[in-house]
Amino acid sequence: MEINSVLQSLSLEGARLKQDETMYKSSEKRLTNLLSDDDELWEPVAVLGVYLSLLRNLKLIQSQHGEYAPTDNAEGWFTKHPEEQMAAIVEKLENVAYPPNKYFWNKILELTRHLPAQQPCDTRTVFSHLLLSFMEDVSQGKEPSKFMQGFVDLGDLADATNEWVRDLEHYGILEVYRHKNRAVGVKLTQLGALALGAAELGEQPTDEKTLIVNPDFECIVFRHGPAWRVAAVLSRFARKEKTDQTYHFKIAREQVESAVLCGMSADSMLGFLREHSRTPIPQNVQYSLKDWASKVHVARNFSAIILEVKEPEILDVIMEDPEVKPHIVRRLSPTLAALKQRLTGKKLLTRLRQNGVFLKY
């Protein structure tokens, strides 16, 4: 999933923000360059906005000190299996107030669950089913005032539906079929079907090898068997180039560096390639991947408020207090701790005083 590539890049370099919380053009261009360059259906900046919105909702990134930066949750995200990541995405989508209104979004999710996972469904048919579902609710007196809330006419409804297709494709839930830069069909991805509990899951993954790694660092994933899982994991350390009858990825230094930063090792990457490749991994690919990974030395750069006490025993008590612990980044020394922000508020200060700690500014 390209969302992982965006999160990895933000973990590696961040993204500078203006005062109005929009990104500087240089950061925006760097991130849009990570996206597939063969897709003319959606605007890259709009797609990037989809990913950033989801990452914020998942609490994997935050804006602080004038830039987007990963939260403490980000590292754990990369230890999740693709199925776990997709389940987290779907759970978040089911609990957000998605525009133009919650009623519309609930209908979208309901319709999505009934899409096929094997053969694509014509997008015109999908829109007709959505419209009929709305009209049925109106005729039965269900949410009639919300039927067209946020819409001026059916053209607006069609535009919103088109955005829904775009967003769910980039969440990894839908696979969109294109013809002359138009979305003509959609179906559930295997990951999406699993996460949504859809009835039609199609053929279950097998141990069949679906990958070929070429000496020019290109990785080709054949679209059958466990291809969806292979592509999801491969995207953590390779850049997706294009999609046709197969998935095309390219192993590149930046993606490998980002993967190491997020907890993957050269051995785990090469182990994954060997497990799923039909042919031996070229020697130059193995050497380069190990070399790139070995030169990554992880360090952290962050701003924090420092809490200082005189005795280590006092900091021991503070570190274990369930009310204070969420405000602590980490212990820096026996008597120093880094805080996310100043400890304020009557409840928190009272809690500290109960432990004999009185803050002095």
pLDDT tens for 171-195 read 888 888 887 777 888 888 878 888 8
CB-based contact 234:249 (threshold 8 Å): yes
Q: Residue 152: is its pLDDT beyond 70?
A: no
pTM value surpassing 0.75: no
- Beta strand ranges found along 84-170 (DSSP E): 121-122
Does residue 233 surpass a pLDDT of 90?
no
Q: What digits encode the pLDDT tens for the residues 284-308?
A: 999 999 999 999 987 777 777 899 9
Q: What angle do CA 248, 90, 94 make, to 5 degrees?
A: 150
pLDDT on residue 352: 87
What phi and psi values does residue 52 have, to the nearest 5 degrees? -65, -40
Name the pLDDT band for 200 (thresholds 50, 70, 90).
very low
Sheet with strand 183-188: strands edge to edge: 121-122, 183-188, 174-178
Q: What is the mean pLDDT of residues 89-104?
A: 71
Are 244 and 38 in contact, with CB atoms under 8 Å apart? Answer: no
- The tens digit of pLDDT for each residue in 330-353 reads 899 999 999 888 888 888 888 888
SS3 25: helix
User: Which is more confident, 220 or 139?
Assistant: 220
**Residues 69 and 61 sit within 8 Å (Cβ to Cβ):** yes
Convert the pLDDT of each residue in 7-49 to its tens digit.
888 877 788 888 887 888 888 888 888 776 666 777 888 888 8
Please state the rounded mean pLDDT for residues 234-239: 86
Three-state SS across 274-319? HHHECCCCCHHHHHHHHHHHHCCCCCCCCCCEEEECCCHHHHHHHH
Confidence of residue 220 (pLDDT cuts 50, 70, 90): very high
